């Protein structure tokens, strides 16, 4: 026989890059006038974060960003999704602007571009200014969305000459339901369903303002979208009945965010189920929330399996106990999520451009004696997911780019520093960066525009 290898090649102009977020890497939590964020507060509450880890120093990217961009460029990245810290720009969330914070991101963005890397900027990745929580109740109150509007105007005006790709919010559910509903994330509250639904609505209002700011001040070629971590459903078998069940499960589970954004209304199913817990809103809110976007960002980690149950109704299957996970115990090995996630939004909402704004794997990596970090588990994990992404593109789903989470190990929120998502190892004691095996592999993927 003769072996005929055909690499799984991605479309021309496919975007490859890394993703990170300000609070998780910058450190310098109280430097140059930065205000407290709700995470600075939360991390200091006993028992909330693994090992009591704080964001105070993190990867010290605030000081080391030039070196970090040099390494990123050396490893072949041409795109980088970063976020701006709201409390650096407005220490109290609103009111007085902090020029030193504005200047920092000018230097950061310039250094990024100088390294040959295109910045993709998330306006909000969870680090809400503490003062907005204290004064307004944070996302419970629409004054927080008004404050966000001013903040968005400010950063788009400041950086819009160089930044052309904007993401309004990262994963609404994580800073609403998980922050105000089950208390797992900052501000760590356990409030009623009505309040939680209201926090979603406030977040959607902020998203609308992010779009408006980019349209108003973004200049030529500016584009904007949301990053959502939609619940993803994988049909147990790829038969019409299970595929239809997965589609229905997707619509129901993501109704709070995707229906108002793409259909300009809360679905009757959602309103019926919410009953008196439905969010209160004002005339014009839904028009504002459903302003057209240019793309949808999707953070893809888990998918849940679904089959057609009684009368075709979706039956979501639990993960059996032996189902493989990463060391991040919540993270299942479900590569098909990277097929069904993008396909679902394209089919259901007609989304014309999807960027995978995050995908990656969290493990408790440690270096070998010779200093090498042999994360073959992460390499395999990502590779399997990418094969499914390739399949979705082959089937006609408009996926335009992929950002690996993350460049270097960083502050993994309530899991602290133990859980590492980087392809570059961070030694927190020395701030030394060491590319892991997966980094070298991903360099080749980006370079060859193919799964190697």
Locus of tokens 């509903």: 181
Give the orientation angle of helix 376-394 with respect to helix 437-448, to 10 degrees. 20
3-state secondary structure at position 426: strand
Asked if residue 187 lies in contact with residue 269, where contact means CB atoms within 8 angstroms, the answer is: no
Judged by CB under 6 A, which stretch of 170-178, 237-245, 286-294, 371-379 contacts ligand GBH? 170-178
Residue 439: which of 431, 138, 426 has the closest Cα? Answer: 426
DSSP 234: E
Nearer to ligand GBH, 193 or 244 (CB): 193
Nearer to ligand GBH, 171 or 259 (CB): 171
**SS3 of 65-127:** HHHHHHHHHHCCCCEEEEECCHHHHCCCCCCCCCHHHHHHHHHHHHHHHHCCCEEEEEEECCC
Please state whether 282 falls in left (phi above 0), alpha (psi between -120 and 50) or beta.
beta
Q: Is 24 annotated as a binding residue?
A: yes
Kindly tell me which residue out of 305, 421, 441, 442 binds ligand GBH, with binding defined by CB under 6 A.
421
Q: Which residue among the candidates 171, 231, 388, 414 is catalytic per the annotation?
A: 171
Locus of tokens 């090649």: 9
Rounded to the nearest whole angstrom, what is the least distance from the CB of residue 266 to ligand GBH in the complex?
23
Q: Is 61 annotated as a binding residue?
A: no
Residue 391: which of 350, 448, 447, 340 has the closest Cα? Answer: 340
Rounded to the nearest whole angstrom, what is the least distance from the CB of residue 174 to ligand GBH in the complex?
5
Rounded to the nearest whole angstrom, what is the least distance from the CB of residue 258 to ligand GBH in the complex?
16
Q: Is 139 annotated as a binding residue?
A: no
Residue 54 corresponds to which tokens in the numbers above? 């704080």
Q: Is 405 annotated as a binding residue?
A: yes
Residue 93 corresponds to which tokens in the numbers above? 């969330």
Rounded to the nearest whole angstrom, what is the least distance from the CB of residue 378 to ligand GBH in the complex?
13
Nearer to ligand GBH, 365 or 412 (CB): 412
By CB under 6 A, is residue 21 in contact with ligand GBH?
yes
Site string for ligand GBH, 87-126 (x = CB under 6 A): ----------------------------------------
3-state secondary structure at position 222: coil
Site string for ligand GBH, 260-299 (x = CB under 6 A): ---------------------------------------x
Kindly tell me which residue out of 70, 97, 174, 271 binds ligand GBH, with binding defined by CB under 6 A.
174
Instruction: Give the separation between CA 90 and CA 87, rounded to whole angstroms.
Output: 5
Q: Is 413 annotated as a binding residue?
A: yes
By CB under 6 A, is residue 170 in contact with ligand GBH?
yes
Residue 333 corresponds to which tokens in the numbers above? 């090995």
Q: Which residues ranging from 206 to 265 are in contact with ligand GBH (CB under 6 A)?
A: 229
Residue 364: which of 355, 373, 352, 354 has the closest Cα? Answer: 373
Nearer to ligand GBH, 183 or 398 (CB): 183
Which residues, including other chains, have CB under 8 Å from residue 284's CB and lie 6 or more apart? none
Residue 293: which of 333, 257, 341 has the closest Cα? Answer: 257
Q: Which residue among the candidates 26, 133, 259, 358 is catalytic per the annotation?
A: 358
Kindly tell me which residue out of 62, 405, 407, 417 binds ligand GBH, with binding defined by CB under 6 A.
405
| Whether 358 is catalytic | yes
Q: Is 412 annotated as a binding residue?
A: yes
By CB under 6 A, is residue 381 in contact with ligand GBH?
no
Nearer to ligand GBH, 305 or 405 (CB): 405
Site string for ligand GBH, 344-363 (x = CB under 6 A): --------------x-----
| Whether 273 is catalytic | no
Q: What is the DSSP string of 378-415?
A: HHHHHHHHHHHHHHHHHTT--EEEEEEE-SB----GGG
User: Residue ranges for the binding site for substrate?
Assistant: 24, 125, 170, 301, 405, 412-413
Q: Looking at the annotation, which residues are catalytic?
A: 171, 358
Instruction: Give residues in contact with ligand GBH (CB under 6 A).
Output: 21, 170-171, 174, 229, 299, 301, 330, 358, 405, 412, 421
């Amino acid at each position: 026989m003769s072996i005929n290898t055909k690499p799984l090649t991605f479309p021309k102009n496919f975007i490859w890059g890394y993703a990170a977020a300000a609070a998780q890497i910058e450190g310098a939590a109280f430097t140059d006038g930065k205000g407290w964020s709700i995470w600075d507060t939360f991390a200091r509450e006993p028992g909330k974060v693994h090992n009591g880890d704080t964001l105070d120093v993190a990867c010290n990217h605030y000081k080391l960003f030039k070196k970090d961009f040099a390494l990123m460029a050396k490893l072949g990245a041409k795109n980088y999704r970063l976020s701006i810290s709201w409390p650096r720009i407005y220490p109290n969330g609103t009111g007085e602007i902090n020029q030193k914070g504005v200047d920092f991101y000018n230097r950061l963005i310039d250094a990024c571009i100088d390294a040959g890397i295109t910045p993709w900027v998330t306006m909000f990745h969870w680090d809400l200014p503490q003062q907005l929580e204290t004064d307004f109740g944070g996302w419970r109150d629409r004054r927080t969305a008004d404050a966000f509007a001013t903040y968005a105007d400010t950063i788009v005006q400041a950086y819009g000459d160089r930044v052309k790709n904007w993401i309004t919010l990262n994963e609404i559910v994580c800073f609403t339901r998980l922050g105000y509903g089950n208390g797992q994330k900052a501000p760590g509250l356990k409030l009623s369903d009505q309040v939680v639904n209201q926090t979603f609505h406030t977040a959607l209002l902020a998203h609308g303002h992010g779009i408006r700011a980019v349209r108003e001040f973004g200049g030529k070629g500016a584009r904007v979208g949301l990053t959502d971590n939609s619940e993803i459903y994988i049909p147990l078998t790829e038969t019409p009945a299970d595929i239809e069940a997965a589609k229905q499960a997707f619509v129901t589970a993501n109704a709070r965010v995707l229906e108002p954004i793409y259909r300009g209304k809360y679905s009757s199913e959602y309103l019926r189920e919410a009953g008196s817990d439905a969010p209160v809103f004002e005339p014009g809110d839904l028009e504002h929330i459903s302003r057209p976007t240019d793309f949808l960002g999707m953070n893809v980690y888990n998918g849940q399996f679904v089959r057609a149950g009684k009368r075709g109704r979706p039956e979501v299957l639990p993960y059996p106990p032996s189902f493989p996970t990463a060391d991040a115990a919540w993270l299942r090995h479900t590569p098909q999520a990277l097929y069904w996630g993008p396909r679902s939004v394209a089919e259901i909402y007609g989304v014309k451009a999807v960027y995978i704004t995050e995908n990656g794997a969290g493990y408790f990596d440690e270096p070998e004696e010779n200093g090498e970090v042999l994360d073959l588990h992460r390499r395999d994990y990502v590779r399997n997911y990418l094969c499914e992404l390739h399949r979705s593109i082959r089937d006609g789903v408009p996926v335009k780019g992929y950002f690996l989470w993350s460049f270097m190990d960083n502050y993994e929120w309530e899991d602290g520093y133990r859980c590492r998502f980087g392809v570059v190892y961070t030694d927190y004691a020395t701030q030394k960066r060491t590319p892991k095996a997966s980094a070298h592999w991903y360099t080749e993927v980006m370079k060859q525009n193919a799964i190697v």
